[in-house]
Chain A
Amino acid sequence: MLGKTANGLYWMYRYMERAENAARLIETGQRIALTRLNQTDKEWASVLRSGDCLQGYTATHDEMSRDLAVDWMLRSKDNPSSVVSSINAARLNARLVRTAITGEVWEAVNSAYMTLKKALGRKVSERELPSVLRLIRHHAALVRGVTHGTMLRNEIYDFARLGTFLERADNTARILDVKYYVLLPSARSVGSSIDNVQWESILRSVSARGGFRMEYGAGGGPREIADFLILDKRMPRSLAFCAGELSTNLGFLAKGGDVGQASRNKVRALENGLLSKSIDDIFRHGLHEFLQTTLKDLTAISRQIEEEFRFYA
Chain B
Amino acid sequence: MWGRDAGLREPYRNFHAWFDQEDPKRLRAKNREAEDLFRLTGITFNVYGRSEAEERLIPFDIIPRIISGSEWAKLSRGIDQRVRAINAFLHDIYHTQEIVKAGRIPKEMIARNEAFLPHMIGVDVPGGVYTHIVGIDLVRTGPGEFFVLEDNARTPSGVSYMLENRETMLQMFPELFSKNRVQPVQHYPIDLRRSLAACAPKAAGANPTVAVLTPGIYNSAYFEHAFLADQMGVELVEGHDLRVVDGRVAMRTTHGYKAIDVLYRRVDDDFLDPLNFNPESQLGVPGIMDVYRAGGITIANAPGTGISDDKAIYSYMPEIVEFYTGERPLLQNVPTHRCSEPDALAYVLDNLEDLVVKEVHGSGGYGMLIGPTATRKDLAAFRRKLKARPKNYIAQPTLSLSTVPIFAQKGLAPRHVDLRPFVLVSPDGIKITPGGLTRVALKKGSLVVNSSQGGGTKDTWVLEE
CB of A93, distance to nearest CB on chain B (Å) = 10
**A1, A96, A114: the one within 8 Å of B39 (CB):** A114
User: Most chain-B Cβ atoms within 10 A of its Cβ — which of A95, A103, A313?
Assistant: A95
Q: Please, what's the 1-or-0 string for B29-57, where 1 marks a CB less than 8 Å from any CB in chain A?
A: 00000000001111000000000000000
Q: How far is the CA of A310 from the CA of B253 in the complex (A)?
A: 7
Which chain A residues in 230-271 approach chain B with CB under 8 Å? 253, 257, 259
Are B236 and A3 in touch, CB under 8 angstroms? no
Q: How far is the CA of A313 from the CA of B235 in the complex (A)?
A: 17
From B231, which residue of chain A is reached at the shortest CB distance? A99
Are B226 and A99 in touch, CB under 8 angstroms? yes
Q: Please, what's the 1-or-0 string for B323-345, where 1 marks a CB less than 8 Å from any CB in chain A?
A: 00000000000000000000000
Are B254 and A1 in touch, CB under 8 angstroms? yes
Are A2 and B40 in touch, CB under 8 angstroms? no
Are B236 and A155 in touch, CB under 8 angstroms? no
Are A4 and B230 in touch, CB under 8 angstroms? no
Q: Taking chain A's interface residues, is the majority helix, strand, or loop, or is none over half, making it mixed?
A: helix
From B233, which residue of chain A is reached at the shortest CB distance? A99
Q: Taking chain B's interface residues, is the majority helix, strand, or loop, or is none over half, making it mixed?
A: mixed
Q: How far is the CA of A310 from the CA of B217 in the complex (A)?
A: 20
Are B252 and A110 in touch, CB under 8 angstroms? no
Are B241 and A98 in touch, CB under 8 angstroms? no
Are A98 and B236 in touch, CB under 8 angstroms? yes
**A98, A107, A259: the one within 8 Å of B254 (CB):** A259
The reply on B229 being an interface residue by CB < 8 A is yes
Q: Please, what's the 1-or-0 string for A1-24, where 1 marks a CB less than 8 Å from any CB in chain B?
A: 111111000000000000000000
The reply on A40 being an interface residue by CB < 8 A is no
Are A3 and B254 in touch, CB under 8 angstroms? yes
**B226, B234, B252, B253: the one within 8 Å of A98 (CB):** B226
**A92, A95, A114, A310: the one within 8 Å of B252 (CB):** A310
Are A2 and B252 in touch, CB under 8 angstroms? yes
Total interface residues in chain A, CB < 8 Å: 24
Q: Please, what's the 1-or-0 string for B256-282, where 1 marks a CB less than 8 Å from any CB in chain A?
A: 100000000000000000000000000
Instruction: Determine the chain B residues whose CB is within 8 A of the CB of A2 once the complex forms.
Output: 235, 237, 241, 251-254
CB of A41, distance to nearest CB on chain B (Å) = 34
With A2-B241, A3-B241, A99-B235 known as contacts, the answer to whether A107 contacts B40 (CB < 8 A) is yes
Are B226 and A114 in touch, CB under 8 angstroms? no
Are A111 and B40 in touch, CB under 8 angstroms? yes
With A98-B226, A99-B230, A107-B40 known as contacts, the answer to whether A259 contacts B252 (CB < 8 A) is no
The reply on B222 being an interface residue by CB < 8 A is yes
**A1, A95, A107, A257: the one within 8 Å of B217 (CB):** A95
Instruction: Determine the chain A residues whose CB is within 8 A of the CB of B240 once the complex forms.
Output: 4
The reply on A57 being an interface residue by CB < 8 A is no
The reply on A165 being an interface residue by CB < 8 A is no
Instruction: Determine the chain A residues whose CB is within 8 A of the CB of B226 once the complex forms.
Output: 95, 98-99
The reply on A212 being an interface residue by CB < 8 A is no
From B226, which residue of chain A is reached at the shortest CB distance? A98
Instruction: Determine the chain B residues whose CB is within 8 A of the CB of A106 once the complex forms.
Output: 41-42
Given contacts A2-B237, A253-B254, A257-B255, 10 further A-B contacts (CB under 8 A): A1-B254, A3-B241, A95-B42, A98-B42, A98-B227, A106-B41, A107-B40, A107-B41, A259-B256, A310-B253
Q: List 19 A-B contacts (CB under 8 A).
A: A2-B253, A2-B254, A4-B241, A5-B235, A92-B217, A95-B217, A95-B222, A95-B226, A98-B42, A99-B230, A99-B235, A110-B40, A111-B40, A114-B40, A155-B254, A253-B254, A257-B255, A309-B254, A310-B256
Task: List residues of chain A with CB under 8 Å of any chain B CB.
Answer: 1-6, 92, 95-96, 98-99, 103, 106-107, 110-111, 114, 155, 253, 257, 259, 309-310, 313
Ranked nearest first, the 10 interchain pairs of A and B with the lowest CB-CB distance are A98-B226, A309-B254, A99-B230, A99-B229, A3-B252, A99-B236, A6-B254, A1-B254, A259-B255, A4-B241
